[in-house]
């Protein structure tokens, strides 16, 4: 429990904007360690304080994570290293951030679009980034630092944001049957955002990619399976395989055992997962890769490998397995971050669910993405974009 002196000191420090000192004051007076949820103050919880005191802690934890509209996503957020106001400039960099919205028969979603300074109207790649639970588009942009890479490689980056009216915690519906099919539900909305950007900007239709974290990673896997003609490659960080769950109960089980996923489509895949992840078990990465290998085998295009390498970056060791196609290009890369938890590897401490240590997942994903183009002709994809 907190004592009054600690609380009063923390309140005064917070009022003056000295957030890190406030956290230290709480920790020094009986508070929780930084990076954990404080008792009675769950991240993203919709249970008011007056009601929380009458609910057993074990039940509260389940409600906080899996309340109405919830889904598989991080439980414990890291506090930003700086006040949240710092996120604005960090996201903007030298380019332009446009706050937009897209509406379809299935619903509407807001999204942020980053346009780098090097964009001149010539066709460039597009990367869609799907945030994890309790995150926002701006938070995800800051944490992954993908906008900085967009400046280096001159590509547009879009950050769709889950509606809090649909999911109070901001979880994508990756585990719902209606959100696992083409032409309906959230996949149709995300695909609609993609094609809207393609209509309104000069995008190379053969170089469009999608990636995500946790529930966003699971939804990225859904997009790769349902729109393989639209996306040239997919990145899944700490996520779950396509078709591995069909409802909330099976989603909970899948987080622990990986479920029984369906074949995932033929899109090139890069996967990152920490082997110390206690929110989404590392076995899920194995299931994602196995699902993609199954697809290749069914299509008579079995992949060779894996070729395994070991290394270190940013203070963490990693193991990297690579599977090659018939043309000797990497079709699957699986990165296991040793000691990594449920967080974006090599991310910025200004964002939530990031681990500044370890290899730079954003840089490695973009490297992998840019080595792939869609097998579909540019003309056919452009026609699809024009149809919406």
Active site residues: 214
Q: State the distance between the two ends of the chain, measured CA to CA, in whole angstroms.
A: 55
Please give the Cα distance from 222 to 94 (Å, whole number): 32
Nearest Cα to Cα of residue 355 among 77, 120, 107:
77
Q: In degrees rounded to 5, what are phi and psi of residue 62?
A: -65, -45
Q: What is the DSSP letter of 280?
A: S
Please give the Cα distance from 92 to 135 (Å, whole number): 18
> What is the separation of C-alpha 169 from the centre of its chain, rounded to a whole number of angstroms?
14
Using an 8 Å Cβ cutoff, are 110 and 100 in contact? yes
Given CA atoms 173, 323, 356, 276 in this order, what sign does their dihedral have? positive
Please give the Cα distance from 143 to 80 (Å, whole number): 9
- DSSP notation for 187-211: HHHHHHHHHHHHHHS-EEEEEEEEE
Buried b (16+ CB within 10 A) or exposed e, 122-146: eebbbbbbbbbbbbbbbbbbbbbbb
Which residues have a Cβ under 8 Å from the Cβ of 88 and sit 6 or more positions away? Answer: 138
Nearest 5°: CA angle at 10, between 61 and 278?
A: 30
Please give the Cα distance from 139 to 132 (Å, whole number): 10
Please give the Cα distance from 302 to 336 (Å, whole number): 23
Nearest Cα to Cα of residue 77 among 37, 28, 17, 128:
37
């Amino acid at each position: 429990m907190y004592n009054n002196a600690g609380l009063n000191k923390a309140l005064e420090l917070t009022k003056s904007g000295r957030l890190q000192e406030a956290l230290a004051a709480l920790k020094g007076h009986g508070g929780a360690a930084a990076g954990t949820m404080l008792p009675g103050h769950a991240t993203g919880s919709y249970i008011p304080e007056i009601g929380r005191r009458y609910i057993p802690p074990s039940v509260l934890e389940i409600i906080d994570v899996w309340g109405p509209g919830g889904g598989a996503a991080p439980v414990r957020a890291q506090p930003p290293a700086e006040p949240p106001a710092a996120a604005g400039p960090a996201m903007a960099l030298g380019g332009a951030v446009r706050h937009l919205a897209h509406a379809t028969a299935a619903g509407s979603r807001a999204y942020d679009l980053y346009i780098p300074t090097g964009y001149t109207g010539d066709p460039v790649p597009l990367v869609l980034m799907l945030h994890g639970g309790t995150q926002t588009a701006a938070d995800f942009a800051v944490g992954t630092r993908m906008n900085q890479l967009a400046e280096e490689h001159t590509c547009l980056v879009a950050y769709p944001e889950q509606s809090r009216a649909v999911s109070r915690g901001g979880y994508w519906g990756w585990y719902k049957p209606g959100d696992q099919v083409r032409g309906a539900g959230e996949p149709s909305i995300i695909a609609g955002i993609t094609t809207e950007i393609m209509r309104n900007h000069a995008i190379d239709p053969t170089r469009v990619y999608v990636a995500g974290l946790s529930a966003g990673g699971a939804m990225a896997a859904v997009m790769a399976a349902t729109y393989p003609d639209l996306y040239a490659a997919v990145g899944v960080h700490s996520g779950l395989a396509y078709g591995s769950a069909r409802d909330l109960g099976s989603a909970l089980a899948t987080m622990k055992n990986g479920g029984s996923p369906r074949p995932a489509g033929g899109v090139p895949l890069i996967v990152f997962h920490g082997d110390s992840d206690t929110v989404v078990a590392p076995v899920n990465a194995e299931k994602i890769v196995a699902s993609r290998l199954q697809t290749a085998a069914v299509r008579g295009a079995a992949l060779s490998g894996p070729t395994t390498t070991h290394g270190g970056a940013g203070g963490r060791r990693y193991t990297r397995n690579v599977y090659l196609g018939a043309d000797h290009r990497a079709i699957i890369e699986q990165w296991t971050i040793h000691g990594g938890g449920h967080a974006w590897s090599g991310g910025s401490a200004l964002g939530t669910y990031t681990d500044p240590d370890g290899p730079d997942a954003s840089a490695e994903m973009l490297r992998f993405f840019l080595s792939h183009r869609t097998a579909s002709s540019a003309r056919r994809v452009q026609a699809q974009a024009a149809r919406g």
